[in-house]
Structure 1
Amino acid sequence: MKDFIIEEDLLIIDGDFAIKDSDQQNLEHLLLSQKGSYKEFPILGVGIKKYINSPDATSRLRLENEIDKQLSYDNFFVKTLDVNDLQNIKIDGNY
C-alpha cells in the first residue's frame, strides 16, 4: 500500500509529500496507538506499551490475539505472528 510517509514530521521530497510503500509504517502506528486514538475508528489500536512490561504468558497470548484482531480490522492478512520476544515482534503478511 502506498501512502504519505511520516518520519518525525511529514516527509517532503522536491516540495511535495513523499508517497512510498507504507505497510511498515501502518503496522507501527497500529501497534503503538491506543483504542480511541482514531476518532473515526474508536476500537482500532493495540496499545502495545501496556503489554511490554508484563512477563507472564497470559499477557503474551492476549497481545498476540489483540494484534491479530486489530490487523484483521485493518484488512491486513496475517500469515505468521510471533510475540515471544516483545522487543522483536515478527509479523508476516500483507494488505
Structure 2
Amino acid sequence: MTLVVTGRITRARVPELCAELERLLALSGRSAAPAACDLAGVVRPDLSAVEAVARLSLTARRAGGGPLRLCAVPPELRTLLELVGLADVMDLPGFADGP
C-alpha cells in the first residue's frame, strides 16, 4: 500500500494526507507489508513537508500499519529531515547514521 504525495505540501494539507493514509490502511486490511509514502512529486519542500512526513509516520503506526517507508524522497526534503533529526528515526532509504 503506497500513498503518493504530489505538489506543494502546506500545513492545511497535512490532515487531508493523514486521513487518506488512514483510508488506504483500512482498505488494505493492515497487511504485513509496511505502508509506504512516495514523495517523488513533492515540490518546494519546507517545514510543512517535514511536519507532514512526521504526522504520516505517526498515523501509520497508530493505525497498525507499522513504520512508514519513505520512497523517492526529494533531496531538499531529505536534507530538511536530516537537519531536524528525523532522518534517523524515519525509514529513509540510504540514510546512514553517524560515521
- Shorter-chain TM-score range: 0.3 to 0.5
Task: Using CA pairs under 8 Å that are at least 6 residues apart, name the structure with larger relative contact order, 1 or 2.
Answer: 2
CA radius of gyration, larger in: 1
Q: TM-score, normalised by structure 2?
A: 0.33
Q: TM-score, normalised by structure 1?
A: 0.34
**Larger relative strand fraction:** 1
